[in-house]
Amino acid sequence: MTTLPRHKPVSDASLRAFAGYHMKRAFNVIKADLIETLKPFDLRMVTYSTLVLIVDNPGLRQAQMADALMIERPNFVAIIDELETAGLITRQRAPEDRRAYALMATLSGQAQCKWATEAVNAHEHRVFGVLSDAERRLLLSALGKIEINAAQ
């Protein structure tokens, strides 16, 4: 008896004309799956990315890491605190510049990074496994072009 039926389908045809809308929707599902993937390791997307960068680039300063991750320096403090409290990284005063900290992964941090990366690889396989190798290559190529184009 409702003239406004409750489950009338909503048309998003106009939005679907935009590639950006599809990017957002696809990225939303990827993000949701990644968050679940990292939860057992007590890592968030940003703490996982940071941990990987510290493992791969031992000894760098906070400001350098923050720049690479495009995170504002003040916001990076809590992220580093979180990883340090979890025993995954250490802050070491840089001997030649006592204002700066050099960031290093602990042995535990290296192990955690390796295990989490295995889980993230499984996540990537789950999410992008629907694509053929050719599709996946073309997706990466297209994404790269979009990013480079914007930097001009």
- Side-chain-side CA neighbours of 144 within 13 Å: the count stands at 6
Task: Count other C-beta atoms under 10 Å from residue 148's C-beta.
Answer: 9
Per DSSP (E only), the strands in 80-143 are: 89-94, 97-105
**Pattern 14-53, its own copies, x by CB under 8 A:** xx--xxxxxxxxxxxxx-xxx--------------x--xx
- What residue 125 binds from its own copies, DNA, none (CB within 5 to 8 A, per partner kind)? none
Decide: is 68 part of the binding site for DNA (CB under 7 A).
no
- Quote the CA–CA distance of 25 and 15 in Å, as a whole number: 11
Residue 98 contact partner, candidates its own copies, DNA, none, CB within 5 to 8 A by sort of partner: DNA
CB of 17 to DNA, least distance (A): 21
Q: Does 62 bind DNA (CB under 7 A)?
A: yes
C-beta neighbour count of 80 within 10 angstroms: 19
Among 3, 6, 17, 149, binds DNA (CB under 7 A): 6
- Member of 42, 62, 64, 83 binding its own copies (CB under 8 A): 64
Q: Which does 89 bind (CB under 5 to 8 A by kind): its own copies, DNA, none?
A: none
- The Cα 9–Cα 12 span in angstroms is 9
